[in-house]
Structure 1
Amino acid sequence: MNIVLITGSAGLIGSESVNFFADKFDLVIGIDNNLRQYFFGADGNTEWNRDRLIDVYPNYKHYVADIRKTDELTPIFQKYGNDIKLIVHAAAQPSHDWAAREPFTDFSVNATGTLNLLEMNRLYCEKAVFIFTSTNKVYGDNPNYLPLVEKELRWEISEDHAYFKNGIDENLSIDHTKHSLFGASKVAADVLVQEYGRYFGMKTGVFRGGCLTGPNHSGAQLHGFLSYLMKCAITGNHYTIFGYKGKQVRDNIHSYDLVNMFWHYYQNPRSGEVYNAGGGRYANCSMLEAIQICEEITDKKMNFSYSDTNRIGDHIWYVSDVSKFKNHYPDWNYSYDLKTTLGQIHDSMTARLVATV
């Protein structure tokens, strides 16, 4: 039997992984205890997505387990053992603002949880491919010291620095910078995943995501940029832009495109490898530009205001250079541009909001 095990399976990337791999593996095991609701309240509740997966995929098996507890993970890995061919680790505490509230919780989920899963991988299914959803926050504030130029609606890299014309690559230092506690816990996990590949020779891959997005995101104010923005656009709820004149740039990769990267890596894994994984030059926008697109899709003016105080650890300009991954896996490419993605988010969000009335 061929099995894929997915953590955070009711979240954005986890559920997209279930969608993607359900017809490629005999059994899909999902691990998710809806901790996102604890982090972000009702907006973060993923039960609707868990129930959808159970209803849609007959070969999906859900476990309500805590990745911080080896006594809850061990029976699962013991039961399925070497039948597990792929592990997609997408469970996380994903907000740098929230991490400062409960540093122990943040670190235990992001770092200790990752270590627990790596050990489960090593002890019970060593030949399985292990894919880790990391973050661009491992680079800390270093992107903010790049030469930037202010444009009408966005910050942009200076044309005098051609090295960054395609975005930020994996050579940017992760040292000598402020990360936020979230960034620090993800650095710890990121390096652990690399080390299990390099030290033990396991098939581990790190994907440092930009803004991960898609129609199945339970977006909240502290996490889920495009999803929460569109929710405010639809409902008329107030949205606050924090700092940088609203011109801060994020690249946005559709969850399908990211999981498709996972699929290409799985078929030809490189031990301990690291890839930047975002929308790159194909799909990026500033806050102001994203608001404009949301207003076009909803045909409504957004209710938003501006705060001069930027969030600690926020990037002014971040665009992923995905050249390394494309060089290693030339058959991969993007499928969803920014407007298509926002259109999907709008339709999915509208349907969910109607269903709750």
Structure 2
Amino acid sequence: MSRGSASNKPILITGGCGFIGCNLADRLAARGDRVSILDNLARAGVRENAQWLKSRHLDRVNIAVADVRDPIPVIGAVREARAVLHLAAQVAVTSSLERPIEDFDTNARGTINVLEAVRLHNPSAPVVFASTNKVYGRLVDDAQIGKRGRRYVPSDPALARGVVESAPLDFYSPYGCSKGTADQYVRDYARVFGLRTVVLRMSCIYGPRQFGTEDQGWIAHFLLSALRGDPLTIYGDGFQVRDALYVADAVDAWIGVLDQIDRTHGRIFNLGGGPANSASLLELIELIARLTNHEISHSFADWRPGDQPWYVSDVSGLHDAIGWEPATSLLDGLASLQDWLESRFGRPFGNQGAFA
């Protein structure tokens, strides 16, 4: 999708005031694109992100307060868009366990609303969808992993470069089911209806404008806990491994996939930091302690349903398709997030006490 298009229609971002969405909106608006955002502003921090976007880009960014579960505003927004970046979602496994119907309505039905709006009212518009590594389920059994140092390592040598997109799907938890359902619908609307859709299965995106909580945005949550001097609760034993991707690199991938939609449509891609940017929870705690010179107190609790003992993305598919690869190391990304958190909350690391 060329920036040089004669169309002056906006790029629609559902959930565009969330962490990844607002970073995408900021980059697109900064390069000259008009951006339309549809967001229900329900999550913590999103109103602040909305104000930040408007202060930086004024009328180049338009924000409509609406919910993807309501098809009427979705149709109106999609009808005027030249592309749709669909990030609106319920994002916490714990919330899906507490309210599975709400989780399904937002993630599965909300995605169908977006797809149907595109199919019926704007079928030429590309659709890029924010999926998750949770669609792969637990991935490896306990008998298929071992411990090396302070992390789990899979015994299968085929996983040395990470999980490929052709790995079997095994939805686990209501969240995994709802996002997996949406993932497969987005793929199928390309095959059956000819829509130009792309699925991005994301893993642990982190960076500025992320208001991390225990349920979502765990890297930011770890850093925030260090800022506040709060103890951490680790669910499981801490040896579980994830790959992490700095948000600016994730935005590069999203925009690269959109700009090269003639090459990428109909495809599914993993989007993560890959093996070079992987860490166990215990390793991340140690890295934060070295970075901040501040030890983090932590305790352990039972594993949560659907928790993966090991997940690392193989991102060679994206590299082969559009030449993308992670550019920011985990250490540099953490330092950048630390700078933003300090500027946002107004205290340096090492100061104890409540954080406004």
For the aligned residue pairs, the C-alpha RMSD in angstroms reads 1.7
Moved more, 12-21 or 259-268: 259-268
Report what 1:319 is aligned to.
312
Instruction: Name the amino acid aligned to 2:37.
Output: G
- Listed as ranges, the gaps of 5+ residues in structure 2 are 1-7, 348-354
- From 127, 131, 152, the counterpart of 2:128: 131
Secondary structure in 2 matching 1:126: coil
Shift of 1:6: 0.5
1:57-110 deviation digits (Å, cap 9, x = unpaired):
1211111111100122233334x2xxx222111111111111011111101110
1:172-200 deviation digits (Å, cap 9, x = unpaired):
1114xx51000000011001100111111
What count of residue pairs does the alignment treat as equivalent?
A: 339
Report what 1:263 is aligned to.
255
| CA distance in structure 2 between the partners assigned to 1:143 and 1:121 by the alignment | 37
1:48 partnered with 2:48 = yes
- From 30, 33, 36, the counterpart of 1:29: 36
Shift of 1:157: 2.4
Shift of 1:145: 5.8
1:263-299 deviation digits (Å, cap 9, x = unpaired):
2212222332111111111211100111011112221
Structure 1 pair 143/274, CA: closer, same or farther in 2 (3 Å)? farther
1:10 partnered with 2:17 = yes
Report what 2:218 is aligned to.
225
1:286-313 deviation digits (Å, cap 9, x = unpaired):
0011101111222111121122x11110
| CA distance in structure 2 between the partners assigned to 1:145 and 1:278 by the alignment | 23
Cα pair 2:206 2:220 within 8 Å, conserved = yes
Instruction: Name the amino acid aligned to 1:168.
Output: V
Instruction: Name the amino acid aligned to 1:124.
Output: H
- From 159, 162, 165, the counterpart of 1:170: 165
Report what 2:280 is aligned to.
286
| CA distance in structure 2 between the partners assigned to 1:170 and 1:224 by the alignment | 23
Shift of 1:136: 0.6
Shift of 1:251: 0.6
Cα pair 1:11 1:218 within 8 Å, conserved = no
Moved more, 259-268 or 113-122: 259-268
Structure 1 pair 34/316, CA: closer, same or farther in 2 (3 Å)? same
Report what 2:69 is aligned to.
68
Secondary structure in 2 matching 1:131: strand
| CA distance in structure 1 between the partners assigned to 2:317 and 2:130 by the alignment | 17
Report what 1:249 is aligned to.
241
Cα pair 2:232 2:298 within 8 Å, conserved = yes
Report what 2:5 is aligned to.
none
Report what 2:3 is aligned to.
none
Report what 1:179 is aligned to.
172
Shift of 1:25: 4.6
Cα pair 2:138 2:309 within 8 Å, conserved = no
| CA distance in structure 2 between the partners assigned to 1:138 and 1:12 by the alignment | 21
| CA distance in structure 1 between the partners assigned to 2:70 and 2:42 by the alignment | 14
Moved more, 145-154 or 260-269: 145-154
Structure 1 pair 343/144, CA: closer, same or farther in 2 (3 Å)? farther
| CA distance in structure 2 between the partners assigned to 1:146 and 1:327 by the alignment | 33
1:96 partnered with 2:93 = yes
| CA distance in structure 2 between the partners assigned to 1:77 and 1:172 by the alignment | 32
Cα pair 1:246 1:286 within 8 Å, conserved = yes
Instruction: Name the amino acid aligned to 2:70.
Output: K
Percent of matched pairs sharing the same residue: 31
Shift of 1:257: 1.4
| CA distance in structure 1 between the partners assigned to 2:267 and 2:306 by the alignment | 25
| CA distance in structure 2 between the partners assigned to 1:60 and 1:134 by the alignment | 24
* TM-score (normalised: structure 2): 0.91
Moved more, 20-29 or 148-157: 20-29
